[in-house]
Structure 1
Amino acid sequence: MQKTVIVIAGPTASGKTALSIQLAQLFNTAVISADSRQCYREITIGTAKPSPEELAAVPHYFINSHSIKEDINAGIYEKLALGYAREIFQQNDVAIMCGGTGLYIRAFAEGIDDMPAIPPGIRTHLNEQFVQHGIAWLQQQLQERDPDFYAIAETQNPQRLIRALEVLNATGKSITTFRTANRIPRDFRIIKIGITLPKEQLHHNIHYRVDQMIHAGLVEEVRSVAPYREHNALRTVGYQEIFQFLDGHISLDQAINDIKTHTRQYAKRQLTWFRKDPAFQWFDPRQVKDIVTWVQQQL
Protein backbone atom coordinates (compact mmCIF):
# COMPACT_ATOMS: atom_id res chain seq x y z
CA MET A 1 0.00 0.00 0.00
CA GLN A 2 1.20 3.51 -0.79
CA LYS A 3 1.90 5.64 2.28
CA THR A 4 -1.22 7.73 2.92
CA VAL A 5 -2.27 10.60 5.17
CA ILE A 6 -5.99 10.80 5.88
CA VAL A 7 -6.89 14.42 6.66
CA ILE A 8 -9.99 15.08 8.79
CA ALA A 9 -11.00 18.74 8.69
CA GLY A 10 -14.08 20.84 9.34
CA PRO A 11 -15.46 23.53 11.61
CA THR A 12 -14.86 23.69 15.33
CA ALA A 13 -17.12 21.46 17.49
CA SER A 14 -18.09 19.21 14.57
CA GLY A 15 -16.60 16.01 16.01
CA LYS A 16 -13.19 15.83 14.35
CA THR A 17 -11.32 14.54 17.41
CA ALA A 18 -13.63 11.56 18.05
CA LEU A 19 -13.56 10.55 14.38
CA SER A 20 -9.77 10.87 14.12
CA ILE A 21 -9.30 8.58 17.13
CA GLN A 22 -11.71 5.99 15.68
CA LEU A 23 -9.80 5.97 12.38
CA ALA A 24 -6.41 5.89 14.13
CA GLN A 25 -7.54 2.87 16.17
CA LEU A 26 -8.85 1.18 13.03
CA PHE A 27 -5.48 1.55 11.28
CA ASN A 28 -3.43 1.15 14.47
CA THR A 29 -1.70 4.46 13.82
CA ALA A 30 -1.17 7.98 15.21
CA VAL A 31 -2.84 11.39 14.86
CA ILE A 32 -1.04 14.55 13.77
CA SER A 33 -2.90 17.61 15.05
CA ALA A 34 -3.46 20.44 12.58
CA ASP A 35 -4.59 22.97 15.17
CA SER A 36 -2.57 26.15 15.59
CA ARG A 37 -3.18 26.43 19.34
CA GLN A 38 -3.41 22.92 20.79
CA CYS A 39 0.38 22.62 20.50
CA TYR A 40 0.82 25.04 23.41
CA ARG A 41 1.18 23.39 26.80
CA GLU A 42 -0.06 26.38 28.79
CA ILE A 43 -3.51 26.64 27.18
CA THR A 44 -5.79 23.62 27.33
CA ILE A 45 -9.38 24.55 28.18
CA GLY A 46 -9.86 27.33 25.63
CA THR A 47 -8.25 25.30 22.84
CA ALA A 48 -10.58 22.28 23.26
CA LYS A 49 -7.69 19.82 23.33
CA PRO A 50 -8.49 16.10 23.27
CA SER A 51 -9.13 14.80 26.78
CA PRO A 52 -6.42 12.86 28.66
CA GLU A 53 -8.36 9.68 27.84
CA GLU A 54 -8.43 10.54 24.13
CA LEU A 55 -4.72 11.39 24.14
CA ALA A 56 -4.02 8.04 25.81
CA ALA A 57 -6.13 6.11 23.28
CA VAL A 58 -3.75 6.70 20.34
CA PRO A 59 -0.41 8.53 19.94
CA HIS A 60 -0.77 12.25 19.13
CA TYR A 61 1.72 14.66 17.59
CA PHE A 62 1.71 18.47 17.90
CA ILE A 63 -0.36 18.56 21.09
CA ASN A 64 1.35 19.99 24.21
CA SER A 65 4.54 20.00 22.14
CA HIS A 66 5.53 23.66 22.50
CA SER A 67 5.54 26.51 24.98
CA ILE A 68 3.42 29.59 24.41
CA LYS A 69 6.68 31.55 24.37
CA GLU A 70 7.48 29.93 21.01
CA ASP A 71 5.95 31.37 17.86
CA ILE A 72 4.72 28.68 15.49
CA ASN A 73 3.55 29.54 11.97
CA ALA A 74 2.49 27.60 8.87
CA GLY A 75 6.04 27.35 7.55
CA ILE A 76 7.32 25.84 10.79
CA TYR A 77 4.29 23.55 10.95
CA GLU A 78 4.93 22.24 7.44
CA LYS A 79 8.43 21.05 8.41
CA LEU A 80 7.28 19.60 11.75
CA ALA A 81 4.29 17.75 10.29
CA LEU A 82 6.28 16.27 7.43
CA GLY A 83 8.73 14.98 10.06
CA TYR A 84 5.88 13.50 12.12
CA ALA A 85 4.49 11.77 9.02
CA ARG A 86 7.90 10.28 8.18
CA GLU A 87 8.16 8.94 11.74
CA ILE A 88 4.70 7.35 11.58
CA PHE A 89 5.42 5.86 8.14
CA GLN A 90 8.37 3.93 9.57
CA GLN A 91 5.82 1.73 11.37
CA ASN A 92 2.55 2.29 9.48
CA ASP A 93 1.26 2.86 5.96
CA VAL A 94 -1.42 5.27 7.18
CA ALA A 95 -1.29 8.44 9.29
CA ILE A 96 -4.25 10.57 10.41
CA MET A 97 -4.15 14.39 10.37
CA CYS A 98 -6.93 16.16 12.27
CA GLY A 99 -7.67 19.84 12.77
CA GLY A 100 -9.37 23.02 11.76
CA THR A 101 -6.45 25.30 10.86
CA GLY A 102 -6.84 25.40 7.10
CA LEU A 103 -3.54 27.13 6.41
CA TYR A 104 -1.60 24.45 8.32
CA ILE A 105 -3.31 21.67 6.36
CA ARG A 106 -2.58 23.44 3.09
CA ALA A 107 1.06 23.99 4.08
CA PHE A 108 1.40 20.27 4.84
CA ALA A 109 -0.34 19.13 1.66
CA GLU A 110 1.06 21.64 -0.83
CA GLY A 111 3.94 23.53 0.77
CA ILE A 112 3.91 27.22 1.63
CA ASP A 113 5.56 30.04 -0.26
CA ASP A 114 8.10 32.39 1.26
CA MET A 115 6.35 35.58 2.29
CA PRO A 116 7.70 38.87 0.94
CA ALA A 117 9.95 41.00 3.13
CA ILE A 118 8.05 43.89 4.70
CA PRO A 119 9.73 47.28 5.18
CA PRO A 120 9.65 47.99 8.95
CA GLY A 121 7.95 51.36 8.44
CA ILE A 122 4.81 49.69 7.08
CA ARG A 123 4.50 47.41 10.11
CA THR A 124 5.13 50.30 12.52
CA HIS A 125 2.46 52.44 10.85
CA LEU A 126 -0.15 49.67 10.98
CA ASN A 127 0.59 48.94 14.63
CA GLU A 128 0.20 52.65 15.42
CA GLN A 129 -3.15 52.71 13.61
CA PHE A 130 -4.25 49.63 15.57
CA VAL A 131 -3.35 51.25 18.90
CA GLN A 132 -5.16 54.45 17.86
CA HIS A 133 -8.29 53.05 16.21
CA GLY A 134 -8.59 49.47 17.51
CA ILE A 135 -9.37 46.21 15.78
CA ALA A 136 -12.45 47.61 14.02
CA TRP A 137 -10.20 49.80 11.85
CA LEU A 138 -8.08 46.79 10.83
CA GLN A 139 -11.22 44.79 10.02
CA GLN A 140 -12.69 47.62 7.94
CA GLN A 141 -9.45 48.17 5.99
CA LEU A 142 -9.07 44.51 5.15
CA GLN A 143 -12.74 44.01 4.32
CA GLU A 144 -12.63 46.92 1.86
CA ARG A 145 -9.24 46.18 0.29
CA ASP A 146 -9.05 42.37 0.34
CA PRO A 147 -12.60 41.01 0.73
CA ASP A 148 -11.71 37.51 -0.44
CA PHE A 149 -9.12 37.03 2.28
CA TYR A 150 -11.33 38.76 4.86
CA ALA A 151 -14.02 36.13 4.22
CA ILE A 152 -11.71 33.40 5.58
CA ALA A 153 -9.48 35.42 7.95
CA GLU A 154 -9.30 35.18 11.75
CA THR A 155 -11.07 38.53 12.07
CA GLN A 156 -10.69 38.69 15.87
CA ASN A 157 -6.90 38.32 15.64
CA PRO A 158 -5.23 41.72 15.10
CA GLN A 159 -1.84 40.17 14.35
CA ARG A 160 -3.31 38.18 11.43
CA LEU A 161 -5.11 41.30 10.13
CA ILE A 162 -1.96 43.44 10.39
CA ARG A 163 0.02 40.72 8.58
CA ALA A 164 -2.46 40.70 5.68
CA LEU A 165 -2.49 44.50 5.46
CA GLU A 166 1.29 44.86 5.54
CA VAL A 167 1.63 42.38 2.64
CA LEU A 168 -1.04 44.36 0.79
CA ASN A 169 0.72 47.68 1.47
CA ALA A 170 4.17 46.35 0.59
CA THR A 171 3.30 44.44 -2.59
CA GLY A 172 -0.14 45.64 -3.72
CA LYS A 173 -1.18 41.96 -3.71
CA SER A 174 -3.38 39.88 -1.43
CA ILE A 175 -1.59 37.64 1.05
CA THR A 176 -3.46 34.73 -0.57
CA THR A 177 -1.42 35.11 -3.78
CA PHE A 178 1.70 34.16 -1.85
CA ARG A 179 0.09 31.03 -0.44
CA THR A 180 -0.95 29.21 -3.57
CA ALA A 181 1.69 29.83 -6.20
CA ASN A 182 3.79 26.66 -6.14
CA ARG A 183 2.46 23.28 -5.07
CA ILE A 184 5.21 21.02 -3.80
CA PRO A 185 4.51 17.37 -4.70
CA ARG A 186 4.55 14.94 -1.75
CA ASP A 187 5.81 11.39 -1.93
CA PHE A 188 2.69 10.06 -0.19
CA ARG A 189 -1.04 10.15 -0.89
CA ILE A 190 -3.36 12.58 0.85
CA ILE A 191 -7.05 11.73 1.29
CA LYS A 192 -9.19 14.61 2.54
CA ILE A 193 -12.37 14.14 4.56
CA GLY A 194 -14.49 17.16 5.48
CA ILE A 195 -17.05 16.81 8.26
CA THR A 196 -19.80 19.15 9.31
CA LEU A 197 -23.19 19.05 11.00
CA PRO A 198 -26.52 20.75 10.27
CA LYS A 199 -26.16 24.40 11.31
CA GLU A 200 -28.50 24.17 14.33
CA GLN A 201 -26.64 21.14 15.68
CA LEU A 202 -23.24 22.75 15.12
CA HIS A 203 -24.34 25.93 16.91
CA HIS A 204 -25.74 23.85 19.77
CA ASN A 205 -22.39 22.03 20.08
CA ILE A 206 -20.49 25.34 20.06
CA HIS A 207 -22.68 26.86 22.79
CA TYR A 208 -22.49 23.71 24.91
CA ARG A 209 -18.70 23.57 24.52
CA VAL A 210 -18.25 27.23 25.55
CA ASP A 211 -20.40 26.65 28.66
CA GLN A 212 -18.28 23.57 29.48
CA MET A 213 -15.08 25.61 29.05
CA ILE A 214 -16.33 28.23 31.53
CA HIS A 215 -17.34 25.46 33.95
CA ALA A 216 -13.88 23.82 33.57
CA GLY A 217 -12.10 27.05 34.57
CA LEU A 218 -11.45 29.05 31.39
CA VAL A 219 -11.34 32.36 33.30
CA GLU A 220 -8.58 31.03 35.60
CA GLU A 221 -6.66 29.64 32.61
CA VAL A 222 -6.78 33.01 30.82
CA ARG A 223 -5.67 34.78 33.99
CA SER A 224 -2.71 32.39 34.29
CA VAL A 225 -1.40 33.29 30.81
CA ALA A 226 -2.03 37.04 31.08
CA PRO A 227 1.74 37.82 30.95
CA TYR A 228 1.74 36.42 27.38
CA ARG A 229 -1.44 38.14 26.22
CA GLU A 230 0.30 39.80 23.25
CA HIS A 231 1.30 36.40 21.94
CA ASN A 232 -0.43 35.40 18.72
CA ALA A 233 -1.92 32.23 20.26
CA LEU A 234 -3.87 34.34 22.76
CA ARG A 235 -5.13 36.90 20.27
CA THR A 236 -7.89 34.49 19.37
CA VAL A 237 -11.45 33.57 20.24
CA GLY A 238 -11.95 32.46 23.82
CA TYR A 239 -8.99 34.41 25.16
CA GLN A 240 -9.57 37.93 23.82
CA GLU A 241 -13.10 38.04 25.24
CA ILE A 242 -12.01 36.88 28.72
CA PHE A 243 -9.20 39.45 28.70
CA GLN A 244 -11.89 42.07 27.98
CA PHE A 245 -13.77 40.79 31.05
CA LEU A 246 -10.64 40.72 33.25
CA ASP A 247 -9.83 44.28 32.17
CA GLY A 248 -13.28 45.35 33.37
CA HIS A 249 -14.59 46.35 29.93
CA ILE A 250 -17.44 43.81 29.79
CA SER A 251 -19.32 41.47 32.14
CA LEU A 252 -18.60 37.73 32.25
CA ASP A 253 -22.02 37.04 30.69
CA GLN A 254 -21.15 39.38 27.82
CA ALA A 255 -17.76 37.69 27.39
CA ILE A 256 -19.42 34.26 27.23
CA ASN A 257 -21.96 35.47 24.66
CA ASP A 258 -19.16 37.08 22.62
CA ILE A 259 -17.16 33.82 22.64
CA LYS A 260 -20.22 31.95 21.34
CA THR A 261 -20.84 34.53 18.60
CA HIS A 262 -17.20 34.73 17.51
CA THR A 263 -16.87 30.92 17.55
CA ARG A 264 -19.93 30.57 15.30
CA GLN A 265 -18.39 33.14 12.93
CA TYR A 266 -15.06 31.28 13.01
CA ALA A 267 -16.79 27.97 12.20
CA LYS A 268 -18.42 29.61 9.19
CA ARG A 269 -15.03 30.87 7.95
CA GLN A 270 -13.51 27.42 8.43
CA LEU A 271 -16.26 25.91 6.25
CA THR A 272 -15.70 28.61 3.61
CA TRP A 273 -11.99 27.75 3.51
CA PHE A 274 -12.35 23.96 3.33
CA ARG A 275 -15.21 24.04 0.82
CA LYS A 276 -12.97 25.89 -1.63
CA ASP A 277 -10.84 22.74 -1.87
CA PRO A 278 -12.55 20.27 -4.24
CA ALA A 279 -10.39 17.39 -2.95
CA PHE A 280 -12.51 17.16 0.22
CA GLN A 281 -15.16 14.44 0.44
CA TRP A 282 -17.87 15.64 2.82
CA PHE A 283 -19.68 13.61 5.49
CA ASP A 284 -21.84 14.01 8.56
CA PRO A 285 -19.48 12.84 11.37
CA ARG A 286 -22.27 10.62 12.71
CA GLN A 287 -22.01 8.48 9.54
CA VAL A 288 -18.93 6.64 10.83
CA LYS A 289 -19.66 3.42 8.87
CA ASP A 290 -19.99 5.38 5.61
CA ILE A 291 -16.73 7.23 6.30
CA VAL A 292 -14.83 4.01 7.08
CA THR A 293 -16.23 2.29 3.98
CA TRP A 294 -15.27 5.25 1.79
CA VAL A 295 -11.75 5.43 3.24
CA GLN A 296 -11.18 1.71 2.73
CA GLN A 297 -12.28 2.04 -0.90
CA GLN A 298 -9.66 4.76 -1.45
CA LEU A 299 -6.76 2.75 -0.04
Structure 2
Amino acid sequence: MNTNHYLISIVGPTAIGKTALSIKLAKHFKTEIISADSRQFFKEMQIGTAAPTPEELSEAPHHYIHHKSIEDVYNVGTFEKEALHTLETLFKTHNTAIMVGGSGLYIDAITRGLDNFPKVDTNIRIALNAQLDSEGLKSLQEQLEQLDPKSFKTIAIDNPHRVIRALEICLGTGQPYSSFLNKNKDSRTFKTITVGLKADREIIYDRINRRVDIMMEQGLLDEVKSLEDKQHLNALNTVGYKELFNYLKGEWTLDFAISEIKKNSRRFAKRQLTWFKRNENTLWFDYETPIRTIIQDIESKIEA
Protein backbone atom coordinates (compact mmCIF):
# COMPACT_ATOMS: atom_id res chain seq x y z
CA MET A 1 0.00 0.00 0.00
CA ASN A 2 1.27 3.46 -0.93
CA THR A 3 0.40 5.44 2.20
CA ASN A 4 0.89 8.68 0.27
CA HIS A 5 -2.26 8.05 -1.76
CA TYR A 6 -5.63 8.88 -0.22
CA LEU A 7 -9.17 8.50 -1.52
CA ILE A 8 -11.51 10.91 0.25
CA SER A 9 -14.96 9.30 0.05
CA ILE A 10 -17.95 11.54 0.75
CA VAL A 11 -21.12 9.77 1.88
CA GLY A 12 -24.49 10.68 3.34
CA PRO A 13 -28.21 10.66 2.58
CA THR A 14 -29.67 12.11 -0.60
CA ALA A 15 -30.05 15.92 -0.74
CA ILE A 16 -27.59 16.52 2.13
CA GLY A 17 -25.02 18.50 0.09
CA LYS A 18 -22.44 15.90 -0.98
CA THR A 19 -21.91 17.35 -4.47
CA ALA A 20 -21.11 20.84 -3.16
CA LEU A 21 -18.67 19.44 -0.59
CA SER A 22 -16.94 17.23 -3.16
CA ILE A 23 -16.26 20.23 -5.41
CA LYS A 24 -14.86 22.31 -2.53
CA LEU A 25 -12.55 19.46 -1.51
CA ALA A 26 -11.47 18.80 -5.10
CA LYS A 27 -10.53 22.46 -5.46
CA HIS A 28 -8.64 22.51 -2.16
CA PHE A 29 -6.68 19.33 -2.88
CA LYS A 30 -6.34 20.24 -6.58
CA THR A 31 -7.66 16.88 -7.68
CA GLU A 32 -10.51 15.13 -9.51
CA ILE A 33 -13.85 13.57 -8.57
CA ILE A 34 -15.08 10.01 -9.06
CA SER A 35 -18.87 9.73 -8.98
CA ALA A 36 -20.18 6.62 -7.24
CA ASP A 37 -23.84 7.42 -7.79
CA SER A 38 -25.25 4.57 -9.87
CA ARG A 39 -28.16 6.69 -11.14
CA GLN A 40 -25.98 9.53 -12.40
CA PHE A 41 -24.09 7.25 -14.82
CA PHE A 42 -26.92 7.53 -17.36
CA LYS A 43 -27.00 10.50 -19.72
CA GLU A 44 -30.77 10.33 -20.26
CA MET A 45 -31.43 10.79 -16.52
CA GLN A 46 -30.33 14.26 -15.53
CA ILE A 47 -33.00 16.08 -13.55
CA GLY A 48 -34.38 13.13 -11.59
CA THR A 49 -30.95 11.99 -10.39
CA ALA A 50 -29.85 15.44 -9.14
CA ALA A 51 -26.68 15.11 -11.20
CA PRO A 52 -24.16 17.95 -10.98
CA THR A 53 -25.11 20.91 -13.15
CA PRO A 54 -22.92 21.97 -16.10
CA GLU A 55 -21.63 24.79 -13.89
CA GLU A 56 -20.70 22.34 -11.11
CA LEU A 57 -19.08 19.96 -13.60
CA SER A 58 -16.93 22.83 -14.89
CA GLU A 59 -15.58 23.59 -11.42
CA ALA A 60 -13.64 20.33 -11.08
CA PRO A 61 -12.88 17.35 -13.34
CA HIS A 62 -15.53 14.64 -12.88
CA HIS A 63 -15.55 10.97 -13.89
CA TYR A 64 -18.55 8.62 -14.35
CA ILE A 65 -21.23 11.27 -14.83
CA HIS A 66 -23.55 10.64 -17.82
CA HIS A 67 -21.02 8.37 -19.48
CA LYS A 68 -23.51 5.56 -20.21
CA SER A 69 -26.91 5.13 -21.81
CA ILE A 70 -29.85 3.56 -20.00
CA GLU A 71 -29.73 0.91 -22.73
CA ASP A 72 -26.16 -0.09 -21.87
CA VAL A 73 -25.46 -3.07 -19.65
CA TYR A 74 -23.48 -1.64 -16.75
CA ASN A 75 -23.05 -3.09 -13.29
CA VAL A 76 -21.07 -2.65 -10.10
CA GLY A 77 -18.39 -5.14 -11.18
CA THR A 78 -17.65 -3.17 -14.34
CA PHE A 79 -17.69 0.09 -12.39
CA GLU A 80 -15.20 -1.33 -9.88
CA LYS A 81 -12.71 -2.25 -12.61
CA GLU A 82 -13.07 1.04 -14.48
CA ALA A 83 -12.97 3.30 -11.42
CA LEU A 84 -9.93 1.52 -9.93
CA HIS A 85 -8.13 2.01 -13.26
CA THR A 86 -9.06 5.72 -13.20
CA LEU A 87 -7.76 6.03 -9.64
CA GLU A 88 -4.53 4.26 -10.56
CA THR A 89 -4.00 6.83 -13.31
CA LEU A 90 -4.96 9.75 -11.07
CA PHE A 91 -2.58 8.68 -8.32
CA LYS A 92 0.34 8.95 -10.75
CA THR A 93 -0.01 12.73 -10.62
CA HIS A 94 -2.12 13.36 -7.48
CA ASN A 95 -1.75 12.29 -3.86
CA THR A 96 -5.49 12.50 -3.25
CA ALA A 97 -8.70 11.85 -5.16
CA ILE A 98 -12.33 12.52 -4.22
CA MET A 99 -15.18 10.02 -4.51
CA VAL A 100 -18.79 11.07 -3.92
CA GLY A 101 -22.13 9.32 -4.17
CA GLY A 102 -25.05 7.79 -2.37
CA SER A 103 -24.84 4.24 -3.76
CA GLY A 104 -23.40 2.23 -0.87
CA LEU A 105 -22.65 -0.90 -2.90
CA TYR A 106 -20.70 1.07 -5.50
CA ILE A 107 -18.75 2.95 -2.84
CA ASP A 108 -17.87 -0.27 -1.03
CA ALA A 109 -16.78 -1.84 -4.33
CA ILE A 110 -14.04 0.80 -4.63
CA THR A 111 -13.02 1.18 -0.99
CA ARG A 112 -13.25 -2.46 0.10
CA GLY A 113 -13.80 -4.66 -2.95
CA LEU A 114 -16.79 -6.70 -4.01
CA ASP A 115 -18.00 -9.71 -2.10
CA ASN A 116 -17.47 -13.16 -3.57
CA PHE A 117 -20.60 -15.30 -3.85
CA PRO A 118 -20.88 -18.98 -4.77
CA LYS A 119 -22.48 -19.85 -8.10
CA VAL A 120 -26.10 -20.88 -7.88
CA ASP A 121 -28.54 -22.49 -10.29
CA THR A 122 -29.65 -19.92 -12.89
CA ASN A 123 -33.16 -21.40 -12.78
CA ILE A 124 -33.59 -19.81 -9.34
CA ARG A 125 -33.27 -16.31 -10.82
CA ILE A 126 -35.64 -17.23 -13.64
CA ALA A 127 -38.23 -18.40 -11.10
CA LEU A 128 -37.80 -15.26 -8.98
CA ASN A 129 -38.27 -13.02 -12.02
CA ALA A 130 -41.44 -14.95 -12.84
CA GLN A 131 -42.60 -14.44 -9.26
CA LEU A 132 -41.90 -10.71 -9.60
CA ASP A 133 -44.08 -10.57 -12.71
CA SER A 134 -46.94 -12.59 -11.27
CA GLU A 135 -47.00 -11.57 -7.60
CA GLY A 136 -45.13 -8.27 -7.50
CA LEU A 137 -42.12 -7.00 -5.58
CA LYS A 138 -43.84 -7.14 -2.19
CA SER A 139 -43.93 -10.96 -2.20
CA LEU A 140 -40.18 -11.06 -2.84
CA GLN A 141 -39.54 -8.50 -0.10
CA GLU A 142 -41.53 -10.58 2.39
CA GLN A 143 -39.62 -13.70 1.40
CA LEU A 144 -36.29 -11.94 1.90
CA GLU A 145 -37.37 -10.56 5.27
CA GLN A 146 -38.07 -14.13 6.38
CA LEU A 147 -34.87 -15.69 4.96
CA ASP A 148 -32.42 -12.87 5.69
CA PRO A 149 -33.72 -10.08 7.98
CA LYS A 150 -30.28 -8.45 8.02
CA SER A 151 -30.19 -7.98 4.25
CA PHE A 152 -33.83 -6.89 4.24
CA LYS A 153 -32.86 -3.95 6.47
CA THR A 154 -29.75 -2.90 4.55
CA ILE A 155 -30.14 -3.48 0.81
CA ALA A 156 -32.11 -1.25 -1.58
CA ILE A 157 -35.35 -3.06 -0.86
CA ASP A 158 -37.31 -1.19 -3.56
CA ASN A 159 -34.86 -2.34 -6.25
CA PRO A 160 -36.12 -5.69 -7.68
CA HIS A 161 -32.64 -6.52 -9.03
CA ARG A 162 -31.10 -6.24 -5.56
CA VAL A 163 -33.88 -8.19 -3.88
CA ILE A 164 -33.72 -11.00 -6.44
CA ARG A 165 -29.92 -11.14 -6.17
CA ALA A 166 -30.11 -11.56 -2.39
CA LEU A 167 -32.89 -14.12 -2.62
CA GLU A 168 -31.17 -16.28 -5.23
CA ILE A 169 -28.13 -16.57 -2.93
CA CYS A 170 -30.36 -17.42 0.05
CA LEU A 171 -32.28 -20.05 -1.91
CA GLY A 172 -29.30 -21.42 -3.86
CA THR A 173 -27.00 -21.87 -0.87
CA GLY A 174 -29.39 -22.34 2.03
CA GLN A 175 -27.51 -19.54 3.81
CA PRO A 176 -28.32 -15.83 4.24
CA TYR A 177 -27.01 -13.50 1.55
CA SER A 178 -25.55 -11.36 4.36
CA SER A 179 -23.37 -14.25 5.54
CA PHE A 180 -21.21 -13.95 2.43
CA LEU A 181 -20.50 -10.25 2.88
CA ASN A 182 -17.11 -8.82 3.85
CA LYS A 183 -15.05 -11.96 3.28
CA ASN A 184 -11.92 -12.44 1.16
CA LYS A 185 -11.75 -8.82 0.01
CA ASP A 186 -9.07 -7.64 -2.40
CA SER A 187 -6.57 -5.22 -0.86
CA ARG A 188 -6.32 -1.62 -2.07
CA THR A 189 -3.19 0.33 -2.98
CA PHE A 190 -4.53 3.50 -1.33
CA LYS A 191 -6.01 4.54 2.00
CA THR A 192 -9.59 5.74 2.26
CA ILE A 193 -10.78 8.59 4.46
CA THR A 194 -14.58 8.54 4.60
CA VAL A 195 -16.37 11.81 5.31
CA GLY A 196 -20.07 11.64 6.15
CA LEU A 197 -22.59 14.47 6.12
CA LYS A 198 -25.50 14.29 8.54
CA ALA A 199 -28.45 16.34 9.81
CA ASP A 200 -31.51 15.86 11.98
CA ARG A 201 -34.07 13.67 10.28
CA GLU A 202 -36.56 16.53 9.96
CA ILE A 203 -33.95 18.62 8.13
CA ILE A 204 -33.05 15.76 5.78
CA TYR A 205 -36.70 15.13 4.98
CA ASP A 206 -37.37 18.82 4.40
CA ARG A 207 -34.40 19.08 2.05
CA ILE A 208 -35.63 16.01 0.14
CA ASN A 209 -39.15 17.42 -0.20
CA ARG A 210 -37.81 20.75 -1.45
CA ARG A 211 -35.46 19.03 -3.90
CA VAL A 212 -38.35 17.08 -5.43
CA ASP A 213 -40.34 20.32 -5.86
CA ILE A 214 -37.33 21.92 -7.56
CA MET A 215 -36.94 18.90 -9.87
CA MET A 216 -40.55 19.25 -10.94
CA GLU A 217 -40.00 22.96 -11.62
CA GLN A 218 -36.91 22.08 -13.67
CA GLY A 219 -38.93 19.80 -15.94
CA LEU A 220 -38.72 16.32 -14.44
CA LEU A 221 -42.11 15.37 -15.87
CA ASP A 222 -40.95 16.23 -19.40
CA GLU A 223 -37.78 14.21 -18.85
CA VAL A 224 -39.85 11.20 -17.76
CA LYS A 225 -42.24 11.65 -20.72
CA SER A 226 -39.26 11.50 -23.09
CA LEU A 227 -38.32 8.12 -21.59
CA GLU A 228 -41.82 6.64 -21.44
CA ASP A 229 -41.19 4.06 -24.15
CA LYS A 230 -38.06 2.86 -22.30
CA GLN A 231 -39.67 2.43 -18.88
CA HIS A 232 -39.10 -1.34 -18.99
CA LEU A 233 -35.33 -0.79 -18.64
CA ASN A 234 -33.84 -1.52 -15.22
CA ALA A 235 -32.13 1.88 -14.98
CA LEU A 236 -35.53 3.59 -14.98
CA ASN A 237 -36.99 1.43 -12.22
CA THR A 238 -35.94 4.04 -9.71
CA VAL A 239 -37.35 6.77 -7.50
CA GLY A 240 -38.52 9.83 -9.39
CA TYR A 241 -39.18 7.96 -12.60
CA LYS A 242 -41.32 4.95 -11.72
CA GLU A 243 -43.83 7.14 -9.84
CA LEU A 244 -44.29 9.51 -12.78
CA PHE A 245 -44.64 6.56 -15.16
CA ASN A 246 -47.63 5.53 -13.02
CA TYR A 247 -49.05 9.02 -13.48
CA LEU A 248 -48.51 8.89 -17.24
CA LYS A 249 -50.30 5.51 -17.35
CA GLY A 250 -53.29 7.15 -15.68
CA GLU A 251 -52.96 5.05 -12.52
CA TRP A 252 -52.11 7.96 -10.19
CA THR A 253 -52.81 11.68 -10.03
CA LEU A 254 -49.81 13.97 -10.47
CA ASP A 255 -50.03 15.21 -6.88
CA PHE A 256 -50.05 11.64 -5.57
CA ALA A 257 -47.10 10.68 -7.78
CA ILE A 258 -45.10 13.64 -6.44
CA SER A 259 -45.97 12.72 -2.85
CA GLU A 260 -44.81 9.15 -3.54
CA ILE A 261 -41.49 10.43 -4.95
CA LYS A 262 -40.97 12.36 -1.72
CA LYS A 263 -41.95 9.38 0.45
CA ASN A 264 -39.77 6.92 -1.46
CA SER A 265 -36.84 9.36 -1.42
CA ARG A 266 -37.16 9.67 2.36
CA ARG A 267 -37.18 5.87 2.68
CA PHE A 268 -34.11 5.71 0.44
CA ALA A 269 -32.31 8.25 2.66
CA LYS A 270 -33.09 6.14 5.72
CA ARG A 271 -31.59 3.04 4.07
CA GLN A 272 -28.53 5.04 2.99
CA LEU A 273 -27.86 6.09 6.57
CA THR A 274 -28.27 2.51 7.80
CA TRP A 275 -25.69 1.39 5.23
CA PHE A 276 -23.19 4.19 5.83
CA LYS A 277 -23.34 3.97 9.61
CA ARG A 278 -21.85 0.46 9.42
CA ASN A 279 -18.46 2.07 8.80
CA GLU A 280 -17.17 2.95 12.26
CA ASN A 281 -14.22 4.93 10.85
CA THR A 282 -16.34 7.56 9.09
CA LEU A 283 -15.70 11.18 10.06
CA TRP A 284 -19.23 12.55 10.50
CA PHE A 285 -19.97 16.26 10.16
CA ASP A 286 -23.15 18.28 10.40
CA TYR A 287 -24.14 19.41 6.91
CA GLU A 288 -23.54 23.05 7.90
CA THR A 289 -20.01 22.47 9.20
CA PRO A 290 -17.57 25.08 7.76
CA ILE A 291 -15.41 23.65 4.99
CA ARG A 292 -12.21 24.68 6.78
CA THR A 293 -13.13 22.43 9.73
CA ILE A 294 -13.68 19.45 7.46
CA ILE A 295 -10.41 20.10 5.60
CA GLN A 296 -8.49 20.38 8.87
CA ASP A 297 -9.82 17.04 10.08
CA ILE A 298 -9.01 15.35 6.76
CA GLU A 299 -5.48 16.77 6.69
CA SER A 300 -4.88 15.68 10.28
CA LYS A 301 -5.83 12.14 9.23
CA ILE A 302 -3.44 12.30 6.27
CA GLU A 303 -0.61 13.61 8.42
CA ALA A 304 -1.19 11.12 11.25
TM-score, L = length of structure 1 = 0.96
Distance 2:209 2:275 in 1: 22
Helix, strand or coil for the counterpart of 1:151?
helix
Q: State the 1:107 CA deviation.
A: 0.8
Aligned pairs for 1:1-299 within 5 A? 2-287=4-289, 288-299=291-302
Q: Which moved more, 1:221-230 or 1:54-63?
A: 221-230
> For residue 239 of structure 2, what is the amino acid of its counterpart?
V
Q: Deviations over 1:31-70 (max 9, x none)?
A: 1001011011111011110111100000000101111112
Stretch deviating more after TM superposition (70-79 or 248-257): 70-79
Equivalent residues of 1:159, 1:235 under 8 A apart: no
Query: What is the SS of the residue equivalent to 1:8?
Result: strand
CA contact (8 A) 1:71 1:232 kept: no
Encode CA deviations 1:63-92: one digit per residue, 9 max, x unaligned.
011111122222111111111111221221
Q: Percent identity?
A: 43
More displaced 10-residue stretch of structure 1: 117-126 or 45-54: 117-126
**What is the DSSP-based 3-state SS (H/G/I as helix, E as strand, rest coil) of the residue aligned with 1:194?**
strand
SS in 2 for 1:54: helix
Superposed displacement of residue 190, structure 1: 0.8
Q: Distance in 1 between matches of 2:233 and 2:92?
A: 35
Check conservation: 1:110, 1:185, Cα contact below 8 A: yes
Q: Which whole-Å CA distance do the structure 1 matches of 2:180 and 2:5 have between them?
A: 29
CA distance in 1, matches of 2:175, 2:109: 20
Structure 1 residues not aligned, in runs of 5+: none
| Post-superposition offset of 1:249 | 1.1
SS at match of 1:5: strand
CA distance in 2, matches of 1:85, 1:126: 37
Q: Which moved more, 1:28-37 or 1:232-241?
A: 232-241
Distance (whole Å) between structure 1 residues aligned to residue 122 and residue 229 of structure 2: 25
Say how many residue pairs are matched. Answer: 299
Amino acid aligned to 1:99: G
In the alignment, the residues of structure 1 paired with residue 177 and residue 234 of structure 2 have an alpha-carbon distance, to the nearest angstrom, of 18
Q: CA RMSD in A?
A: 1.4
> Structure 1 pair 31/268, CA: closer, same or farther in 2 (3 Å)?
same
Amino acid in structure 2 at the alignment position of 1:165: L
Q: How far apart are residue 292 of structure 1 and its match?
A: 1.0
